[in-house]
Amino acid sequence: MKLWITRPMTLAVEARAAAEFDVEIRPTTTPLSEDEMVRALQEYDVVVPTLGDLFSADVFAKVPEPRCKLLANFGVGYNHIDVEAARALGIAVTNTPGAVTDATADIAMTLLLSTARRAGEGERLVRADNWQGWHPTQMLGHHVTGKRVGIVGMGRIGQAIARRCHFGFGMHVAYQSRSAKQLDFEAEYIPDLLALAASVDFLVLAVPGGAETRHLINAAVLEAMNSSAILVNIARGEVVDETALISALQAGQIAGAGLDVYEFEPAVPKALREMQNVTLLPHLGTATEEVRTGMGHMALDNVTAFVAGRDLPNPV
């Protein structure tokens, strides 16, 4: 059984992989090229891909009889893999749910607070040595405690964000999802996205990527939001129509945005980079040593089960 891991991992994960499998770890951090993906399907029994490795139907079509029988994805999101095309060739796909929940929710709160309280703008002011001292109207931002937050998508991550907002900041939580949820805290279910957007001070996106959610946040949703509202995206970049977002920010339709993901990442439009009311992070959602190690071990747990002929712990 030959295993290929497509990115460098934490030391603990790499050590386990080397000890348990016949593994090759690709040393570069960039996404796989199409030629590399074809080779992955042809030359390895198991591949651990991750975000940016676009295993599309076209890629699978180039290898009608693949050696690879498992794509053990490193990450909870798997919209970069055409799962149906993989299954048609007998390739299973797994992911790493649960391991990412709290870290991603923490980043959502980081973006919400940083954007509302103008923390990024303030830090840039201090670093540029342009701060002239405290005064009563200096850099007035948006109060967070007790405000109304809307969560789009109420899965594991959405609920973790909502709990932080409700219990930590006394916020009034509303949410939109496919159906109402049984929750251990008070939250209002609003099935209509436009109605939710119009009723909240903060709109936080926590939906999976893919065709169903592409440009879910479009010009109509942004127009429905209050001019004092802030958008936070820790989901996938393509969930937001980036052109519409830039227009809404430039026109003052919304007050700001906190973004950890981008429609065409790693490319971030100059217009967004130049706006002081936008907080920009380089996809840090799960970026802690503990979480990335946990994700790696979960991916390898799927590999271990596959090699042993057992049921996969995390099939998608």
Q: Is 166 a catalytic residue?
A: no
Q: Is 265 a catalytic residue?
A: yes
Taking the CA atoms of 17, 22, 27 and 29 in sequence, report the sign of the dihedral they define.
negative
For residue 129, what are the CA distances in angstroms to 123, 126, 133, 167, 189?
10, 5, 11, 37, 46
For 89, which DSSP code? T
Which alpha helices (H) appear in the chain, and where do they start and end?
11-20, 34-43, 57-61, 83-88, 101-116, 119-127, 156-163, 169, 193-198, 219-224, 242-250, 270-273, 289-308
Out of 236, 263, 292, 297, the active site residue is 236
Tell me the CA end-to-end span of the chain in Å, nearest whole number: 22
Q: Is 283 a catalytic residue?
A: yes
Instruction: Give CA–CA dist 302/295, Å, rounded.
Output: 11
**Backbone φ, ψ for residue 303 (5° rounding):** -65, -45
Q: Which residues are catalytic?
A: 236, 265, 283
